[in-house]
Amino acid sequence: MIRDVVIVGGGTAGWMTATYLKTAFQDRISVTLVESAAVGTIGVGEATFSTIRHFFDYLGLDEREWMPECSGSYKLAIKYDNWRGDGSHFFHPFERLRTSDGFTAAEWNLALGDPTESFDRGSFITPYLCEAERSPRMLDGTLFTASLDGELGRSTLDEQRAQFPYAYHFDAALMARYLTKLGVAQGVRHVVDDVVGVGQDERGWITHVSTRNQGDVTGDLFVDCTGFRGLLINQTLKEKFVSFTDVLPNNRAVALRVPRDMAEHGIAPYTKATAKEAGWIWTIPLYGRIGTGYVYSDEFCEPEEAERTLREFAAPGQDELEANHIRMRIGRNERSWVNNCVAVGLSSGFVEPLESTGIFFIQHAIEQLVKHFPDNTWDQTLIRGYNDKVARVIDGVKEFLVLHYVASPRQDTDYWRETKVRAIPDGLAERLETAAVRLLDESTIYPYYHGFEVYSWITICLGMGLAPKSPRPALAHIDPVRASAELAGIRADAERLVKTLPSAYEYLSTIQPAAEG
């Protein structure tokens, strides 16, 4: 039996792993987490997928309890601003497309929609809610799509059946602190000390980590949550790291924490990605401040220039705010599980945060670790299965992100011109050819699970301007009455909800502690 799990590194990855494993296996395993007091959390504000709900429900955590402690807010979509270079925008929502007569609202909108209106407003409800800064919940706590509400229990990403309409923004450091308290209460042994050495046996398997003040910490299974350093997986076990910078060259970021009076300005219930000369700027509204950062390639922009661009965009006149410069390691390990070591989080793999996949990668890895948890035979079938699942998810997200840049028509700077001649992942070229003729479907997107459904691929293609020149011919032979009613119903539902839902700030202020409310 594998009983002793040692997690090296804290932060969001370490504590998500610790609390999930203790919830799954309880006292049948012991979990020790070793972290240095000198190593901080990289994130200055995290955006997530709607599937994060499975994680919180698995742990039995109520959003009304953890959100106030983590500066939490709602995320209904990502707003892509100026990615076409003409000042326009579109929303990538957490919302599946409605269908009529076997064809999606996006298909019918191409045939029947207003050509002067952005496709997302013709196909989804969410853009209306975002622009009006609406909460997904009424003041009494009920969800606007009540049929999708309710606890999921101990379900996983594999059991995702319906599309939940929102995700979260939260402060990564506060989330790590919240999960630390939970983990310690669950019985996780918390060792705050510097790791100064890693012990291995004659096979090269890890036997222990040595700490500066508290000696050796031994275990059976070691989880590397040491971030981009990859202390165990890369530095100790020498696992090969496969870089993605040939297709995703953004390798740096500079971030700011910007205070904001939410009572005066409100809270936008979406992440914003604003295209800039050498990359893009994220804007993540938390309860009480904005997390913002410029993601760029140092081939096209110097750190000083990036910081200056970010300050002018997000915090003019606030020169006292400290900038956090981050070097990002873009790519993944060839294997994330080697011998008795599993890498989770940044030590496993990372792509730029354009679609908020960092937390999703952690959640997916933890769930797969539980499903592939070993015994003392260390069955290689389990280990290969884990590595295949993790690699395919990261590779699929890589391809989806490259789509954003290739589909964008911008060519106004060297950075954006380079996006049109750079290599692209295998398979994407064929998908791009298809998308120029007809909308993508289940058979023409990346074929393995990677967190993004067909509607996401369609949304990015159409939002960036990669659209078929004409609707599907079949639609001309179908009576459009039902489809027209469906499209009208989208607008009617959206307008009704905008009138009835409270603002995001109004609702979130009701769940804050009384002293702050």
From CA 79, how far away is CA 225, in angstroms rounded? 31
Q: Is 355 annotated as a binding residue?
A: yes
Strand duo 99-100 + 103-104: pairing: antiparallel
113 sits in the region (left: phi over 0; alpha: psi -120 to 50; else beta) called beta
Cα→Cα distances 395→34, 141, 181, 353, 451, Å:
30, 38, 34, 14, 11
b or e along 90-118 (b: 16 or more beta carbons within 10 Å of the residue's beta carbon)?
bbbbbbbbbebeebbbbbbbbbbbeeeeb
| Collapsed DSSP state (helix, strand, coil) of residue 423 | coil
Q: Is 10 annotated as a binding residue?
A: yes
b or e along 388-419 (b: 16 or more beta carbons within 10 Å of the residue's beta carbon)?
ebbbebbbbbbbbbbbbbbbbebeeeebbeeb
**Which helix (H) or strand (E) covers residue 325, if one does?**
strand 324-327
Token duo for residue 425: 């992942």
Got the DSSP string for 98-151?
PEETTEEHHHHHHHHS-TTS-HHHHH-SHHHHHHTTB-SB-TTS-BSSGGG-S-
Q: Is 106 annotated as a binding residue?
A: no
b or e along 338-367 (b: 16 or more beta carbons within 10 Å of the residue's beta carbon)?
bbbbbbbbbbbbbbbbbbbbbbbbbbbbbb
Q: Is 75 annotated as a binding residue?
A: yes
Q: Is 13 annotated as a binding residue?
A: yes
From CA 278, how far away is CA 305, in angstroms rounded? 10
Crossing angle of helices 380-407 and 454-464, rounded to 10°: 20
From CA 313, how far away is CA 389, in angstroms rounded? 39
Cβ contact 217:191 at 8 Å: yes
The alpha carbon dihedral of 84, 86, 87, 90 has a sign of: negative
- Say how many residues make up the chain: 517
Q: Which residues are catalytic?
A: 75
Token duo for residue 280: 């893009």
| Collapsed DSSP state (helix, strand, coil) of residue 190 | strand
Residue with tokens 């409800």: 125
Binding-site annotation: residue ranges for FAD: 10-13, 195, 359
Binding-site annotation: residue ranges: 10-13, 75, 195, 346, 355, 359
Binding-site annotation: residue ranges for 7-chloro-L-tryptophan: 75
Binding-site annotation: residue ranges for L-tryptophan: 346, 355
